Amino acid sequence: MKDTEKRFKEYREHLRLEAMRLVSYICLYRCLNERKQDRLDELNIAPNFFQVTLDALFSALILWVDKLLSCNSERGFINFLAFIENNLRIFEITQLQRRRAYPNGHWMLNREPITAETVQEDRDKIIKGITSLCNFKLRRDKFHAHFDKKYFFNRSNLSKDAPLKLSDMEQIIKVMGDVINRYSAAYDGNVYKLEPFNVNDVDYLLDILHEYKKKEDNVTQHCG
């Protein structure tokens, strides 16, 4: 029992950190794309840097989605669910009460038990519910991890055969958070927010550049 609990806590922590890495990639990628609408001039101060950053972020998030959510990954969400399914005992409500010393009738004990059906429901949310996973996998296998001649010589085929939207990435963030927090809360009551602490850093930087550029333009106009 103690070894299994230790393994769960280690698995949860490593999985959470890797999920946070993916969330950071997605949030920064989304932010830079959105700020093209109102801070394009500022982005164009260093166009090569920002374009390379966007390309690198997109490639990284493709690889991390497949690593974390693929059925073939040796570690990741599907394997995490298999671990839970094989160790349902540590998620019994009586075990949560023991770990946290909750008194009888405590509101945290008023929860649905974790069962094999619960685990299958979450497995289906990933495998069947995230319909874009096949597109992430195709991009990973045929371009970002290995070059396929069909896509190497005609990059537009990727967009046709494996379209991706920001909403696909938002769905993945939600599913990862739901899965981690369901079993974390059942184990010891802890829940996590999958959001990078520095999510507003780029906005802050671009807004400073915008204000500086505006002052510089005003000075130029005044001198002229």
Please say if the pLDDT value at position 100 is more than 70.
Answer: yes
Please give the Cα distance from 173 to 194 (Å, whole number). 7
pLDDT score for 219: 62
User: Which pLDDT score is estimated for 16?
Assistant: 97
Mean pLDDT value of segment 97-123 = 95
Question: Is the pLDDT score of 102 beyond 70?
Answer: yes
Residue 215 has pLDDT above 80, yes or no: no
Q: Is 113 left (phi over 0), alpha (psi -120 to 50) or beta?
A: beta
DSSP string over 56-109: HHHHHHHHHHHHHH-TT-SSSHHHHHHHHHTTGGGGSHHHHHHHHTPPTT-GGG
Looking at residue 212, what is its pLDDT?
77
pLDDT higher than threshold 70 for residue 222: no
| pLDDT bucket at 46, cuts 50 / 70 / 90 | confident
Helix (H) or strand (E) holding 5: helix 2-34
Predicted model pTM: 0.89
The per-residue pLDDT for 223 is 64
Show Cβ contacts of residue 54 under 8 Å, excluding neighbours closer than 6 positions: 29, 32, 33
Give pLDDT, residue 200. Answer: 79
HEC secondary structure over 143-199: HHCCCCHHHHCCCHHHHHHCCCCHHHHHHHHHHHHHHHHHHHHHHHCCCCCCCCCCC
Give domain limits for the chain. 2-196
69, 172 Cβ separation under 8 angstroms: yes
Percentage with pLDDT > 70 across the chain: 96
pLDDT at position 220: 63
Output the six-digit token pair for 172: 């993945």
pLDDT surpassing 70 at residue 166: yes
Angstrom distance (rounded) from CA 92 to CA 115: 9
Reported as a pLDDT band with limits 50, 70 and 90, residue 153 is: very high
Residue 107 has what pLDDT? 93
